Amino acid sequence: MARDKRTNKPGKAGTWKEFISNGKINDQVILPQIADSWMRCSQLALNPEDGCAQNILERADIRILLEKNQDIINIAKPFMANLYQFFYNSGFIVVLADVHGYVMECFGDRSSLTSARKIHFVPGASWREGDVGTNAIAVGLMTGKPVQVSGAEHYCRKHHWWTCSAAPIFNSEGEIVAFLDVSGPAQAAYSHTLGMVVAAADAVTTQLGMQQKNYELSLLNKRLSGIFNAVSDGVILFDRFGKVKEYNQNVQKILGKSSKIFNGIPIQTIFKNNSQLIHRLLDRKNSYTDIEFQFDDHTGAKHCILSGETIVDKQGDVNGGIIILRPVEPVYALPSRLSGHYTTFQFNDILGNSAAISEAVRQASAAAVTSSNIILQGESGTGKEMFAQAIHNKSSRRSGPFVALNCGAIPRELVGSELFGYEDGAFTGAKRGGKPGKFELASGGTLFLDEIGDMPLEQQVALLRVLQEKMVPRIGGNKVIPVDVRIICATNKDLNQLVASGAFRQDLYYRLNVFKIDIPPLRERQGDIELLFCHFVDKFGQEQGRDYTVDATVIEYLRQYSWPGNVRELHNIAERACTIAEANRISLACLPPELCCPKAGRCQETAMDNKKIKKRIEEQEFEKIRALLEAERGNISRVASQLGIARSTLYRKMKKYSIF
């Protein structure tokens, strides 16, 4: 048995021969990971006299292998070239294998590569344990750690001439993606070789991590650039000296064509009269949100909402800032909706088959597609605002705000500030910073002026001027704001009579009265009463999860009523009836007393009074319960089921009518 001359103990070659002969391993000579590999090779019945790789990929598969690992190869090749310089003309080769043990790249002199080809140590060859036995790449794949295999430590004899040192390469997630290997003559084996390979593999791992970070940063930059250019707001980035570094296209749209903005210009030139805003960001690190900003261009005064944020570095020093500009119209549209200025009704929500309501819908639908002003004339409760919303939703302004103002519901001295807004300090109690009026909030959309007949004369003059000039002067301000608003007015008064009496300006009336649409009262829509009542009952039933039935006598009384409150009153009565109905049945007892009188909600001396009606209902109910009890032979459950009421309710009624 071959022995180590220095220790006179069995050497690696002798230990290898003994294992091949009888399967015994001297663990004092062979490292545990090498011994484990020999055992696996023996169990696989590998030929220890061989060692030539037989598992070699086809050319097409090699191409796929290289394409799949192109990033790793590109990063590793410079490090492999540098590593090879330490072994130049020494018989060593530098090899890169993938995570499955297939050789991808080789560096070496001609003689070394020729020797490697003799055992098929070439690109595309599998250097896994099951194919060529124990080697550094194979053991590294099994252990996931750097390893050196020299001479007779290889399982196959043809590899005993070689020494190989391999170390894993990891990706940013800590997964092994490749192996770096240095192989050469066994007699030139040095322990420091493995250290050099490990250092090179670590360098490749670091570079892979940097590449992944760069990729993620590039992807993040693309996403941010997409957001930067897609937002409807204008965004300006500037450095600590106040010079513009970047901006999106919407800045030019908001500021107007006359504004000259480009990278490198001082941002103060954009905000000429408001340089203190930039000073607050750069010098005082004072961020701000939603400050109203006014500037002039060739079309006149413009408004936008401005927000600013300071950018600081990790030391807390100012590194620049960001300004966000929002156009007034979209900004005001959002608070308009949050304040209840939104539309829910379409023309198909207006129910009715009568000729009067059908004609009103036809006229309103025709007027909706125009840009003309509209007056809706009708009694209280006929649905004037419903018509106004339907007109807005069919118009070209449907994507804009719908702002409503009831001219009769606010004090006359506040009508002007509500309509036109006011500046900071315009009057005692004025909101700090001022407040936009309904005209500004409705710009780009529709302004609905309900109860227009109640507007004070002095505000009628101001309203007429705004309609003519399409400019709004805020109270206490010296600049005018351009607005683009469609006016829809509503009134339950006769505007012609108001004009004749001098309570309403004639010139304003003719400015508003382009389309006048009369909305009929409910008493002129007899055929629609049952339809509307049943619709409201079904709606409440769906909300409550109940299915109501309506007695025919209820519909008769609804038709006899004069409906001074119109559809609004009918809606309220339907809600009341659903609330107090027993067993999901709406009877006369569910209606308010005034509906049980035949004319105008007032009981006539010749009409049946409420006590008689109630008594008649109770008599009918008594007879029905008594008859059912007799037919069902006193079976309470069956009678209650037929009546659609609970057993407890039936017992209560039997007690009331003394039925035993």
Average pLDDT over residues 247-256: 78
Q: At what angle do helices 355-368 and 384-394 cross, to 10 degrees?
A: 40
Does 586 share its domain with 499? no
Q: Which helix (H) or strand (E) holds 199?
A: helix 191-230
Instruction: Tell me the pLDDT band of 457, cut-offs 50, 70 and 90.
Output: confident
Please tell me the predicted confidence (pLDDT) of residue 338.
41
Label residue 424 left, alpha or beta by phi (over 0 means left) and psi (-120 to 50 means alpha): beta
Angstrom distance (rounded) from CA 617 to CA 650: 16
- Residue 26 included in any domain: no
Does 528 share its domain with 576? yes
Does 323 share its domain with 187? no
Does 526 share its domain with 651? no
The most distant pair of C-alpha atoms in the chain lies apart, rounded to whole Å, by 139
Rg of the chain over CA atoms, in angstroms?
Answer: 46
Taken as a whole, the chain contains a residue count of 660
Angstrom distance (rounded) from CA 447 to CA 445: 7
- Which CATH number fits the domain that encloses residue 629? 1.10.10.60
- Residue 219 included in any domain: no
- Residue 364 included in any domain: yes
Instruction: Identify the CA nearest to 352 among candidates 296, 312, 390.
Output: 390
What pLDDT digit, counting tens, does each position of 108-133 carry? 888 889 989 999 999 999 999 999 99
Of 475, 498, 515, which residue sits at a domain end? 515
What pLDDT digit, counting tens, does each position of 85-107 carry? 888 888 899 999 999 999 999 99
* 453 in Cβ contact with 509 (< 8 Å): no
* 515 in Cβ contact with 374 (< 8 Å): yes
Please tell me the predicted confidence (pLDDT) of residue 257.
55
DSSP string, 129-173: HHHH-S-HHHHHHHHSS-EEEEGGGSSSGGGTTEEEEEEEEE-TT
% of the chain beyond a pLDDT of 70: 88
Of 31-35, 123-127, 281-285, 431-435, the poorest mean pLDDT is in 281-285
* 358 in Cβ contact with 342 (< 8 Å): no
DSSP string, 105-121: EEEE-HHHHHHHHHTT-
Does 358 share its domain with 303? no
What pLDDT digit, counting tens, does each position of 21-76 carry? 988 888 788 899 999 999 999 999 999 999 899 999 999 999 999 999 999 999 99
Structurally, how many domains does the chain consist of? 5
Count each helix (H run) and each strand (E run) in the chain, helices first.
Answer: 24, 21
> 93 phi and psi, to 5 degrees?
-125, 150
- Residue 562 included in any domain: yes
* 659 in Cβ contact with 625 (< 8 Å): yes
Secondary structure in 3-state letters for 466-497: HHHHCEEECECCCCEEECCCEEEEEECCCHHH
> 645 phi and psi, to 5 degrees?
-130, 170
SS3 95: strand
Q: Burial-class residue 205 by CB neighbours within 10 Å (0-12, 13-18, 19+).
A: buried
Cα-Cα-Cα-Cα dihedral sign, residues 351, 354, 355, 360: negative
What pLDDT digit, counting tens, does each position of 627-658 carry? 888 888 888 888 887 877 878 788 888 888 88
Instruction: Tell me the pLDDT band of 318, cut-offs 50, 70 and 90.
Output: confident
Residue 509, token pair as written in the block: 């009336």
Average pLDDT over residues 176-203: 92
Please tell me the predicted confidence (pLDDT) of residue 230.
74
Instruction: Tell me the pLDDT band of 433, cut-offs 50, 70 and 90.
Output: low
Please tell me the predicted confidence (pLDDT) of residue 480.
81
Structure-token match 């009188």, residue found: 597
Average pLDDT over residues 538-559: 88
- Residue 451 included in any domain: yes
Of 210-214, 328-332, 441-445, the poorest mean pLDDT is in 328-332
* Residue 426 DSSP class: S
> 650 phi and psi, to 5 degrees?
-65, -45
Does 416 share its domain with 352? yes
Q: At what angle do helices 136-143 and 32-43 cross, to 10 degrees?
A: 100
Q: Which helix (H) or strand (E) holds 183?
A: strand 176-185
Instruction: Identify the CA nearest to 134 among candidates 38, 24, 32.
Output: 38
- Residue 1 included in any domain: no
Of 304, 333, 362, which residue sits at a domain end? 333
Angstrom distance (rounded) from CA 271 to CA 36: 76
- Residue 159 included in any domain: yes
* 322 in Cβ contact with 237 (< 8 Å): yes
Amino acid identity of 487?
I
Please tell me the predicted confidence (pLDDT) of residue 309.
84
Angstrom distance (rounded) from CA 586 to CA 537: 9
Angstrom distance (rounded) from CA 621 to CA 551: 13
Angstrom distance (rounded) from CA 421 to CA 466: 13
Q: At what angle do helices 636-643 and 647-656 cross, to 10 degrees?
A: 100
* 466 in Cβ contact with 448 (< 8 Å): no
Does 561 share its domain with 420? no
Average pLDDT over residues 252-266: 72
Does 536 share its domain with 427? no
- Which CATH number fits the domain that encloses residue 268? 3.30.450.20
SS3 618: helix
pTM beyond cutoff 0.95: no
Please tell me the predicted confidence (pLDDT) of residue 33.
93
Average pLDDT over residues 342-359: 87
Angstrom distance (rounded) from CA 529 to CA 524: 10
Angstrom distance (rounded) from CA 660 to CA 658: 6
Structure-token match 């129910």, residue found: 351
> 139 phi and psi, to 5 degrees?
-65, -40
Angstrom distance (rounded) from CA 39 to CA 37: 5
Does 65 share its domain with 144? yes
Does 68 share its domain with 93? yes
What pLDDT digit, counting tens, does each position of 493-536 carry? 889 898 988 889 999 999 999 999 999 999 999 889 999 999 99
Residue 295, token pair as written in the block: 């500037």
Instruction: Identify the CA nearest to 484 among candidates 523, 440, 519.
Output: 440
What is the average pLDDT value for the chain, to the nearest integer? 84
Average pLDDT over residues 197-213: 92
Domain, as residue range, for 268: 234-333
Instruction: Tell me the pLDDT band of 157, cut-offs 50, 70 and 90.
Output: very high
Q: Which residue has the higher pLDDT, 288 or 530?
A: 530
Q: Which helix (H) or strand (E) holds 270?
A: none
Residue 531, token pair as written in the block: 């339809």
Strand partners, 550: 586
Residue 88, token pair as written in the block: 């130049």
Please tell me the predicted confidence (pLDDT) of residue 296.
60
Does 484 share its domain with 584? no
Q: At what angle do helices 526-544 and 552-560 cross, to 10 degrees?
A: 130
- Residue 308 included in any domain: yes
Amino acid identity of 186?
A
Instruction: Tell me the pLDDT band of 335, cut-offs 50, 70 and 90.
Output: very low
Cα-Cα-Cα-Cα dihedral sign, residues 125, 130, 131, 132: positive
- Which CATH number fits the domain that encloses residue 426? 3.40.50.300
- Which CATH number fits the domain that encloses residue 548? 1.10.8.60
Of 212, 245, 274, which residue sits at a domain end? 212
Does 194 share its domain with 301? no
Q: Burial-class residue 137 by CB neighbours within 10 Å (0-12, 13-18, 19+).
A: buried
Angstrom distance (rounded) from CA 25 to CA 48: 15
Angstrom distance (rounded) from CA 396 to CA 391: 10
